[in-house]
Structure 1
Amino acid sequence: MPPALTRALQRWPRPTRRGVAAAAAGVIVAVTGYLLTSLPLVFAGVALVVLVAASVVAVGIRVPALTIARRFSPDRAVAGWSVVESLVISAPASSSPVAVRVRETVAWRVMADDEAVVATIPPGGGARVVFDHDDLPRGRHRIGPARVDVVESFGLARRSVQIEGRSELVVFPEVVAVGHGRESRSLGDGARQRRDHSLAGGQDDPITREYRQGDAMRRVHWRATARQGELMVRQEEQHGLPSARVVLPVTRANWRDAHPALGSGLPVSDGFEWAVSMAASIAIEYGLAGSQTRVTSLEGDTIALHDPSTTPLFLELLSDIALDDVVDERSPEPTPREPVIALVSSLAPAELDELGRSRGPGVGGVAIVVHLDTDPLTPDDVARDSPREVAAALRQSGWRVIESDSSADRARVLLMDGVLGG
């Protein structure tokens, strides 16, 4: 049966398991009474079947107008961690007590029937149900609508309804803190002086300004827009800050473990998620040392820019990036002595040349080459764009290469020579 037809049938009123059992019992009693020529038994059996049928009709005709309110704790989640969702479902004062079974619609998986939470809503009141969402995937997720089974008062019939209304849950990439940035002097005294000036109350450049014709919509700062009542865009550049650059390929061909995500079908990759977390961690550590970090695509376009005053916005931008996204904000040319850290896996020969252009004059660069679970184990199966070959080619091009895998301890990799300016 097609899924659309199955969902449509599920919205029709139908007996519960108790209702099915009651109807079956009624049929048995009625048949037994007929065979024994006992009119009271026949009447009792028929009455039981009619009661179930009437319950189905009643729940199909009369469903109270339910409303819903959601809260997440914390309101900004972290990839791989958990979040608690609280739902308050309210019924109008004119209704009778309503028994419900509640399931939520989430983007990253299908919630099973046995995960539904049972509650009773008093007239004019509300019932609170709680869901724990574990092992969250990074991204900006729409939660809802809630799927609710309204159960008739005798528990004999139910009807599935959707309570409209969706909420947004932003899941940040996980940031691994090693504390190196707070003590680092590798970016120069100017960085430390600028950071101290900021902490002492110095005036930084504003991070938002009014929208101007030609500004990319991906630069819109929605929180500032809501606060100001007019469209605002990010203005993240802070003059005088030393800078670092992190290169992060965002094409699925560069991550050979990419596969369609459950539910959305969009490409996802464990290796790419590990690299996004590393990019966030590197940028935060450089920020603690008073530096700004630009995360760019392989082609040199800016994915996100971090400085010591824009961490939440930076993490939100990294939450949004997905494989095969179009990134069209051109970055400035790399500068001399600007550290470059590349987070790569599979690269074609032309892409290796493109990666080389991310380094400024006299900059060697550090390449963290990520080996994936799908990589071949035997040398005969190694392709030219495999991580093993990419690492060898980058060494020949003057990069300092660190080989890792997508399940490695990120803190250990962060503390290796060169990653954080060492």
Structure 2
Amino acid sequence: MLSTLTPRGRFLVAGGGLLLVVGALLGERPLVQLAVFLLALPVLSAAMVARERFRLGARRTVTPARVPRGESADVLLEITNADTRPGGLWVLTEGLPGDLGRAPQFLVERLPEGATASLHYRVHGHRRGRHVLGPLRLKLVDPFGLVERSAVGADTAPLLVVPRVRGLGPEGPAGGQGGGGEGSRRTIAVHGEDDVSTREYRHGDDLRKVHWKATARTGELMVRLEERPWRAQATLFLDTRSRAHLVAAHRAGAPTGAWTGPGGDDCPPPDSLEWVVEATASIGTALASRGAVLRAVTDAGELVPPSGRGRLSTEDLLDRLAAVGPSRVASLAPGFEQLCRAAGDGPVICLLGAVGPDDVEALIRGRSGPTVDAAVLADIESWAGHGVARGRRELSAASRGVLARQREDAAALLRQAGWRVAIAGADRSVGDVWAELGGPGSPGAAHVPSPASAAVLSSSAAGTTGGLT
């Protein structure tokens, strides 16, 4: 019985026991009678609650069943009394993960036989992922609130919080390009078929792409620069390594204003990993709307549709990205190998965290040839200083300088190999970075650091030098 007492019931029992002792010592019979009454009341309440029987049915309707990060969903919880007797005083608590907010509580009193009570509450998708609503916890309480009895149901309902899809606009490397069958190519011509863009021959280039007229004119072996059509097949690569990102510490209900973001964004990504996940979702959605066959690969493996093979639809891509989290993979090389196998003749877009020249060498070797692919490198230092370094000490000025130099060296190496490169910081939107990839002279253009990035890199805060290992 003691285990079923509420705090109020425990205080009542303690008070009754004290009165009983005082009344016995002083010989005051009224105090003893009052003490007996106080001690008997919880016993009677416990007996009443223990005899109560119930049969409940619970049904949840989540609208919508999948929401973007930062959006809310409405839940209709229908409670049905399936017993042949009216219910008692029920306190219902809905089980919710901390990522969706505080667990709601409801009070239902004497629900008639076969009747249904409709209860409403709202959940907010603070964090991307697959969440479970429920189970429902029922507490039977006596009218005095002295005793309670709990029971937990087995009914649950899923809620999927997917990445936010940002609008990209008509700019970007995929803008304005023609269609074509899978594996077809489009030549980049400046003034006509006789003036095709060329570059010097590199080890691994296909000899069938040698441009003999340019070779004869320059005296060096030259190859044609061709760009694969974005409406055939496009493959996205997502770097999810925990050592390559600053991952935000979870704080349910944290105000979005606590995070740095581009102007006008009411729900900016809280960390660099969320930024590249949302960029993958946004770019993939834009390419799919233009007819591209999508494939997506992470450092931990390929994201495949439910069938296990074939193209990824927009819904499949968002569903798979909803469950993507930081991985413990140390090297990008295995992921790059799988990327090169999956991409085939289609273009590649890589969204990377903290990388250096050694990290991108395998990618350049695997994608060598007269092609134009794109890479986005995350400026993770721009997310530092906002409480996002979960489980790590703050980055020192020396560490930030090392990361910046490694990133610029990796970007220069990619540009030399013919890649289009852009740098993504906390103050840059996905649309701005996408437009930069498709801007004039993108393959060799130098990135101008954003003001926020420059401020972070010039910080002189004291600390221990260290990377993201």
Q: Same fold (TM over 0.5)?
A: yes
**How do residues 36-55 of structure 1 correspond to structure 2 at under 5 angstroms?**
39=29, 42-55=32-45
**Matching residue of 1:273:** 274
Paired residue for 1:341?
A: 349
TM, length-normalised to structure 2: 0.63
Q: 1:254 to 1:381 in 2, by over 3 A?
A: closer
Please, which of 310, 324, 328 is the counterpart of residue 327 of structure 2? Answer: 324
Q: How far apart, in 1, do the equivalents of 2:50 and 2:28 lie?
A: 34
**Cross-structure match for 2:219:** none
State yes or no: 1:416 paired with 2:436.
yes
Matched, 1:188 2:191: no
* In structure 2, distance between residues paired with 1:169 and 1:387: 39
Matches within 5 A, 1:211-290: 241-255=231-245, 257-258=246-247, 270-290=271-291
1:392 is matched with 409
TM-superposed CA distance for 1:280, in Å, is 0.8
Pairing 1:310–2:327 present:
no
2:54 match? 64
Is 1:126 the counterpart of 2:126? The answer is no
Cα distance in 1 between the residues matched to 2:105 and 2:143 = 18
1:183 and 1:91 map into 2 onto residues whose CA distance is 59
Amino acid aligned to 2:112: P
Gap change, CA 1:331 and 1:182, over 3 Å in 2 = closer
Distance 1:87 1:351 in 2: 50
SS of alignment partner, residue 59 of structure 2: strand
State how far apart, in whole Å, the 2-side matches of 1:77 and 1:40 are.
Answer: 64
Per-residue CA deviation, residues 124-153 of structure 1 (Å, 9 max, x unaligned), is: 223333332224322222332222322124
CA distance in 1 between partners of 2:119 and 2:405 (Å):
50
Q: Is the 8 A contact 1:138 1:173 kept in 2?
A: yes
Q: How many residues align?
A: 355
What displacement does 1:414 show? 3.4
Seen in structure 2, the aligned counterparts of structure 1 residues 182 and 409 have a Cα distance that, compared at 3 Å, is closer
- Give the direction of change, closer, same or farther, for the CA distance of 1:69–1:412 in structure 2 (3 Å limit): same
| TM-score, normalization by structure 1 | 0.69
Counterpart selection for 2:364 from 332, 351, 356:
356
User: What is the CA deviation profile of residues 260-303 of structure 1, one whole-angstrom value per residue up to 9, with x for unaligned ones?
Assistant: 8689xxxxx9322221111011011112222223222248x532
Secondary structure in structure 2 of the residue aligned to 1:280: helix
Same amino acid, percent of matched pairs: 23
Give unpaired runs (5+ residues) of structure 2: 182-229, 253-269, 330-334, 385-393, 443-469
- Partner of 1:137, secondary structure, is coil
1:88 paired with 2:107, answer no
Partner of 1:169: 159
Question: Equivalents in 2 of 1:18, 1:150: separation in Å?
Answer: 15
Question: Residue type matched to 1:401 in 2?
Answer: V
In 2 relative to 1, CA 151–251 (structure 1 residues): closer, same or farther, beyond 3 Å? same
2:312 and 2:429 mapped to 1: Cα distance? 28
Could you tell me how far apart the structure 1 residues matched to 2:90 and 2:150 are? 9
**Pair 1:410–1:330, CA change in 2 (3 A):** closer
RMSD (Å) for aligned C-alpha atoms: 4.2
Q: Kindly provide the amino acid, as one letter, of the partner of residue 321 in structure 1.
A: V
Aligned to 1:226: none
1:381 alignment partner, one of 374, 388, 399: 399
1:78 aligns with 2:86: no
Judge conservation of contact 1:251–1:324 (CA < 8 Å) in 2. Answer: yes
- Is the CA contact 1:77–1:170 (under 8 Å) kept in the aligned structure 2? yes
Q: How far is 1:331 from its partner? A: 6.5
- Larger Rg, first or second structure (1 or 2): 2
- Structure 1: 5+ residue runs without aligned partners? 1-10, 192-239, 264-268
Write out per-residue CA displacement over residues 324-353 of structure 1, whole angstroms, 9 at most, x where no aligned residue: 3898987645455x4432211123554312
Amino acid of the residue matched to residue 370 of structure 1?
A: A
